[in-house]
Amino acid sequence: MTLARFAFAALLSLTAATAATAQDRVVPFSAAQLRMSYAPIVQHVQPAVVNVYAAKVVRENNPFLDDPIFRRFFGVPGGQQEQMQRSLGSGVMVDPSGLVVTNFHVIDGADQVRVSLSDKREFEAEIVLKDKRTDLAVLRLKNVKEKFPTLELSNSDDAQVGDVVLAIGNPFGVGQTVTHGIISALARTQVGITDYQFFIQTDAAINPGNSGGPLVDMTGKLVGLNTAIFSRSGGSQGIGFAIPANMVRVVVSAARSGGTTVKRPWLGAKLQAVTPEIAETLGIPRPTGALVASVTPGSPAARAGLKLSDLIVSIDGQDIDDPNAFDYRFVTRPLGGTVQVEVQRGGKPVKLSIPLEVAPDTGTDEVTIKSRSPFQGAKVANISPAVADEYKLDPDTQGVVVTGVSDNEYASNVGFQKGDIITVVNGEQISKTGDLVKVTRDPARLWRITVIRGGQQINVTLGG
């Protein structure tokens, strides 16, 4: 055997060994392999990828149009003007009955949604489920009787950095487009896009219009749903982020079961990141894990025995680097069972079994303020464990939380936002929704209001 043949045989042997230990991942070893095509994967996947068109009517007040002289001079009607805002995204067919998953931000506030298939047919769609916390939404095609091609979801925990992936979508509205790259990183938790930050990063070109489209692996399965890019120019710069398929699966399952909201496990504990200073204090070699900052009495965490200052290091055997990683791992577990959590307590390992159950949603007493006041049109609720979990609040927080704001009402014009906590109005402490209803019944010339937004206290004075 010549040296060249020996080297080639050795390379084949090494490749076979690598494939056996790396789930059939094979490095190309010849020019012929480099000329291999992704066409069979694309042909399999493309029929299940759709374009999503969303439109909403926006009413705008133009102060010039309230001036009768201006209206008469220019011959335009007064009052509000309506404008149609449109957004474009992509989606994936996940059920043959016509169920499509896309990004929440693609259809947020939409009055009309249409879905265009790869064969150019268009269908009206209804929004079945919206989940802002994950930036995911599920649509259903209207008035259809046929079966549609679908895309199978992979176990995204099997993905590895360096895996080849394809991104499919409708960038800039030019039409369905395929780009390729690799998985650049896993478990990106400092992106700041959604409540559950645990993204797959890729260098496959992703641009505006790709949102909601699939990131697929070399088996043709969905490994993630493209949702955002990091860009200084507005176009692709090789840093894109996808929501892992395991999170997509949770939201799709909720929609399939007829739910309009996603029910998730509730821990009942506040976690914080481990800084280098904290790591030094704890005597651990590197700043990793999730440190327990507080535990809600009676919560699953409390009943399982989780304690203040415990350091969570793994969940079901998977290492935990920070609180975001824990949140993702925890909420993608199915309700009804238990999860095994390992903590470091006083330098010793302790294993706990935490039940997977939803947060209680009793006593919220959600109401919409209708009296003439700065709160008119605001929907507010008491801070129950479920509300606290949704808005990432301490359950002991005093006040009521804004859960919604109607358009073109006083509350919207003043600037109240979903998640604001109202604590004091005209010197009256607001502990429950009934307090706010009572204090707003009496008209006032001035309204002195204390609001907590993003952890910061804001004091404002408004005219009546």
Position 24 confidence tier, pLDDT thresholds 50, 70, 90: low
- The answer to the question of residue 34 being in a domain is no
User: Is residue 371 pLDDT above 60, yes or no?
Assistant: yes
Domain end among 355, 387, 420: 355
Distance, in Å, from the CA atom of 144 to the CA atom of 413, rounded to the nearest integer, reads: 41
Q: List pLDDT tens digits, range 249-286.
A: 999 999 998 888 899 999 999 999 999 999 888 888 88
Looking at the structure, tell me whether residues 205 and 116 fall in a common domain. no
Looking at the structure, tell me whether residues 215 and 292 fall in a common domain. no
Looking at the structure, tell me whether residues 74 and 116 fall in a common domain. yes
CA count, 13 A, side-chain hemisphere, 77: 4
Mean pLDDT of the chain: 83
CB 215 within 8 A of CB 223: yes
pLDDT at 6: 34
Looking at the structure, tell me whether residues 164 and 241 fall in a common domain. yes
Q: List pLDDT tens digits, range 388-423.
A: 888 888 777 889 999 888 877 888 888 888 889 999
Distance, in Å, from the CA atom of 60 to the CA atom of 241, rounded to the nearest integer, reads: 34
Q: Identify the sign of the CA torsion 422, 428, 431, 432.
A: negative
Question: What's 286's domain CATH number?
Answer: 2.30.42.10
- The answer to the question of residue 204 being in a domain is yes
- The answer to the question of residue 228 being in a domain is yes
Task: Report the domain count for the chain.
Answer: 4
Give one word for 250, left, alpha or beta, with left for phi > 0 and alpha for psi -120 to 50. alpha
Joined tokens for residue 125: 């769609």
Looking at the structure, tell me whether residues 186 and 249 fall in a common domain. yes
Looking at the structure, tell me whether residues 183 and 162 fall in a common domain. yes
Looking at the structure, tell me whether residues 216 and 287 fall in a common domain. no
pLDDT at 232: 57
- The mean pLDDT of 222-236, rounded to a whole number, is 74
The partner residues of 271 in beta bridges, in order of sequence, read 292
Higher confidence at residue 131 or residue 24?
131
Joined tokens for residue 358: 């939803």
CB 357 within 8 A of CB 267: no
- The answer to the question of residue 92 being in a domain is yes
- The mean pLDDT of 435-444, rounded to a whole number, is 86
Distance, in Å, from the CA atom of 431 to the CA atom of 245, rounded to the nearest integer, reads: 40
Residues that are catalytic: 105, 135, 211
pLDDT at 295: 92
pLDDT at 408: 77
Question: What's 247's domain CATH number?
Answer: 2.40.10.10
- The answer to the question of residue 1 being in a domain is no
- The mean pLDDT of 192-214, rounded to a whole number, is 83
Higher confidence at residue 169 or residue 193?
169
Looking at the structure, tell me whether residues 394 and 422 fall in a common domain. yes
Joined tokens for residue 462: 């408004």
Domain end among 106, 141, 176: 141
Each as own residue / partner, the long-range contacts of residues 423-430 (CB below 8 Å, 24 or more positions apart, any chain) are: 423/398, 423/399, 423/450, 423/451, 423/452, 423/457, 424/448, 424/449, 424/450, 425/449, 425/450, 429/398, 430/399, 430/400
Looking at the structure, tell me whether residues 131 and 99 fall in a common domain. yes
Q: Which amino acid is at 21?
A: T
Q: Indicate the DSSP class of residue 151.
A: -
pLDDT at 2: 39
- The domain of 75 spans 46-141
Q: What is the pTM of this model?
A: 0.78
CB under 8 Å to 124, separation ≥6 — which residues?
Answer: 112, 113, 114, 115, 141, 142, 143
Looking at the structure, tell me whether residues 274 and 335 fall in a common domain. yes
pLDDT at 60: 56
Looking at the structure, tell me whether residues 54 and 135 fall in a common domain. yes
pLDDT at 77: 56
Distance of alpha carbon 265 from the chain centroid: 16
Task: Give me the DSSP letters along 49-76.
Answer: EEEEEEEEEEEEE-GGGG-HHHHHHHT-
- The answer to the question of residue 318 being in a domain is yes
CB 211 within 8 A of CB 106: yes
- The answer to the question of residue 39 being in a domain is no
Position 228 confidence tier, pLDDT thresholds 50, 70, 90: confident
Collapsed DSSP state (helix, strand, coil) of residue 212? coil
- The answer to the question of residue 16 being in a domain is no
Distance, in Å, from the CA atom of 26 to the CA atom of 28, rounded to the nearest integer, reads: 6
Looking at the structure, tell me whether residues 239 and 306 fall in a common domain. no
Domain end among 206, 230, 256: 256
